[in-house]
Every structure is written in structure tokens, then in C-alpha cells.
Structure 1
Amino acid sequence: MLIPVGSATAEIEVRRSRFIAIATPIEESEAMRALISETRAQHPQANHVAHAAIMGRDGSQFSFSDDREPKNTAGRPMLEVLKGSGITNLLVMVVRYFGGTLLGTGGLVKAYSEATKAVLEVLKTEELIDKATLKIMIDYDIYEQVDKLLKEKQGEAENLFETQVTIKVTLPKKYVDEVTSQITNLSSGSATILDCQDSQ
């Protein structure tokens, strides 16, 4: 599965109706509801703000709404596009400004689908990787070697320099055993390494 990196926006026009698609990362339905409300507030003149969302590590949680468009002409076709994208933890909202011409059910399905496809084309994504967070306490004399090791293993670290160096690092789970072993060896067993809760 893929996950979004940042947000993206795209716009299409169909018979003078504007369809503005906004894609943004989410991980829970509460955040999704807040983002939809915020988008409505930013577009008070819009006729509709339909949405579709996929969440969960395997993309098994769904949400969609036609927002007063005829049933299954907006949110459902948007969701079908998302399901086919291989992306999870993603909310797509399509803001519609009515252009005066009725599009019919087929026209609406096509327009909402096309707007969703357009925003996915410009959305940046990355592979969803299982990650873990470690808290590592080491002496200063091995800090540079440990820092280099963590960078090599795609670690994202926050450092606290006191009597010892405390490093809180998030890295792919597949490297945890190797990193733990190497730091234990570098420190001759004096390092403290705690496995914090999984970050994803």
C-alpha cells in the first residue's frame, strides 16, 4: 500500500461547473470530519462538498458522501477511484460550484471520478512501511558512529544532550534488531535501548 505525502489540489471544469479536488492525508475519521467542515467553511458559496476516504494499513476502512448530489453519483465513484489507486490513509474532497447546466447522473459520475483521478495524478505518495520507535541512551564517545548508523537505516531522530546522549528515533521495523545489536556492540553493552510503542 501507498500513503500520501502532503496534500494536493486539482481542478476540472465540466459544462461551466467547477470541480475542485483536494487530497489530504488522514488516519482517523474524527480528523476527516474536521477537514470536511473546514473545507466547507473555506468554500461557503459551493453547492456540494462530496468526499471519499480510505483508511487503515490494508485500506479496509471506507467513508464516502454524495453531499446532496443524486445518490451514488459523487462519493461512491470517487471511492472506486481511490480503491483502485492502492493508496490508504487518504481523504479526497471534491468541491462543486454549479455552472447552471445539469449534468445528469452519468455526467456527475464521470465528473467526480475525473476530478479524483486528476488530484491523484499530482499527489505525492510513498510506500507504507512498518516503523518502530526506539529510545537510545549512549555515551558521547560513540554518538557520531550511532548517528551515522541510524541515518543509514532511514532513522528520523531527535537528540537530547545531557550527561548522556538520549536519542529518540523512528525507523523501519526491519532494521530494529540490527541497530540494537550494533549499538550494543559499539557501547560494549553499556547503551540503554528501549522499544517504544510502534509508530504506525
Structure 2
Amino acid sequence: MSQEDQFKTIITASELTLFKEKKSKFYGYAFPLSNEETLKTYLDKIKKEHLNASHFCYAYQIGIENTTFRTNDDGEPNNSAGLPIYGQIQSFGITNVLVVVVRYFGGVKLGVGGLAQAYKTAARLTLEQCQIVTRTLKITFLVSFPYEEINRVMRIIKENRLKILDQNLQIDCKIKLSVRKMDAETVFGLLNTSQKIQIAKI
């Protein structure tokens, strides 16, 4: 990742992909995932679309600075499915993503090594179909000050090209700012030059 406050993710679900290996079929899906509660919704949807499938294996990673991940082999030999899928999530350097690979058994056993390679390939093909974007972590500040300080505050906002999310400019002014995380300490220092200006993270 290019900056410590940036991360990569997908913004929409992938196109359905299909990988075939010795008569077995592996269908791949990828979804944006921001919480574990959404996982069941996606799995239920896929299972309804593949009523005769043998296995529904998946891996996901959630979080930016503190990440959570999980892998599931769904009855395949240990670490032959979920872990290879997760390996591709790591390889693409993305987070907040779920990858599911649905297998239809074709009657020919692939062995643990063959299975791992097949699930890895299906996951890779799926993620290659995704639009991967770079996002930046932001911090929101609420700046409160009397109207007499408005010129000072607005000058700092303009000079540093800060994004105003909301503002209420009355006798007691309030401005909500979105600040890139790596710039937050600097911006806080610039604004925190008068006892009349109150700054709070929200």
C-alpha cells in the first residue's frame, strides 16, 4: 500500500467466474463486505442459486488497521479450500471483501494439492474480474467557535483544502470537517491556536 492511511477494496460484486478441473466445476464470487452479519445473506443467496453444489467454501477479511479474517473449507480437507482463497485476498492486497467458491464434484478426486490449486485459481480469476479501488482513511472534526473567529478558521480550511461536510455559521459557529488521517495531527495543530476554537473528533 502506498500510504499508511490507504487501503484497497472492491466496490461492487464480481462477475460470476467458472473454473473447471477434471470434471469438477468451481464457480467464484466476490462481494464487498464491511461486517460479518452480511456474510449469511450472501451465502444464503448463493446456496439458492446452486442447490446441487457439493461445497460452498469461502474466505473474508474485514477491517483496515485491525483486520479480522475467516476461512471455511465446508467439508473439504482441512486448509484445502478456505486458506487458498484467503491467500488470494492477501495476494491482491485487499480488505473488506468476501470470496466464495462453489464446487460441483465431477466424480474425479483431485487430492489435497489439486483441490488447493483449484480453489486458488478460482479465487484469483474471480478477483481479477473485480474493480479494485484505493480508499483513504478519514477523520471527522467538529470545530466550534464564535463568529469573530470565522476569518481565521476559514483561512485555515481554504489554505489546506479541507473538505467541509456541514456548517452552521451563526453567532456560535460549527463546522464539520473531513480530514485525511495522516494529516489530522497537523490540521488539529493549525486550528488549535486559540482558546476560543474548540475541536473534537466525531
- Find the aligned partners of 2:178 and 2:43 in 1 and give their Cα distance: 30
Find the counterpart in structure 2 of residue 136 from structure 1. 143
How far, CA to CA, are the matches of 1:8 and 1:86 in structure 2? 17
Identity, in percent, stands at: 22
Deviations 1:92-111 (A, max 9, x none): 12234x27454523443222
Counterparts of 1:50-129 in structure 2, within 5 Å, are: 50-57=57-64, 61-96=68-103, 98=104, 100-102=106-108, 104-105=110-111, 106-121=113-128, 122-126=130-134, 129=137
Which amino acid is 1:161 matched to? N
Name which of 172, 180, 195 aligns with 2:201.
195
User: Against the structure 1 CA distance between its residues 31 and 195, is the aligned structure 2 distance closer, same or farther, given a 3 Å change threshold?
Assistant: same
How far off its partner does 1:32 sit? 3.2
Q: Secondary structure at the match of 1:83?
A: helix
Query: Which residue does 1:32 correspond to in 2?
Result: 39
Matches within 5 A, 1:162-181: 163=170, 165-181=173-189
Cα 1:40/1:168, change in 2 over 3 Å: farther
- TM-score, length basis structure 2: 0.69
Shift of 1:159: 0.7
SS in 1 for 2:92: coil
Cα distance in 1 for residues equivalent to 2:66 and 2:52: 30
Note closer, same or farther for the CA distance 1:128–1:176 as it changes in structure 2 (3 Å cut): closer
1:44-73 CA-partner distances (Å, limit 9, x unpaired)? 535132111223445753311122334433
One-letter code aligned to 1:89: N
Q: Which amino acid aligns with 2:25?
A: S
Structure 2, unpaired ranges of 5+: 2-6
* Structure 1 gap segments, 5+ residues each: none
- Number of aligned residue pairs: give it: 187
Q: Which runs of structure 2 are paired with 1:142-157 in the superposition (5 Å)?
A: 142=151, 145=155, 148-149=158-159, 152-153=161-162, 155=163, 157=164
| 3-state secondary structure, aligned to 1:114 | helix
Letter in 2 for 1:104: L
Equivalent residues of 1:149, 1:179 under 8 A apart: no
Q: 1:59 to 1:136 in 2, by over 3 A?
A: closer
Amino acid in the other structure paired with 1:45? L
RMSD (Å), alpha carbons: 3.4
Q: For residue 119 of structure 1, report the CA deviation from its aligned partner.
A: 2.8
Q: Report the 3-state secondary structure (helix = DSSP H, G, I; strand = E; otherwise coil) of the residue aligned with 1:76.
A: helix
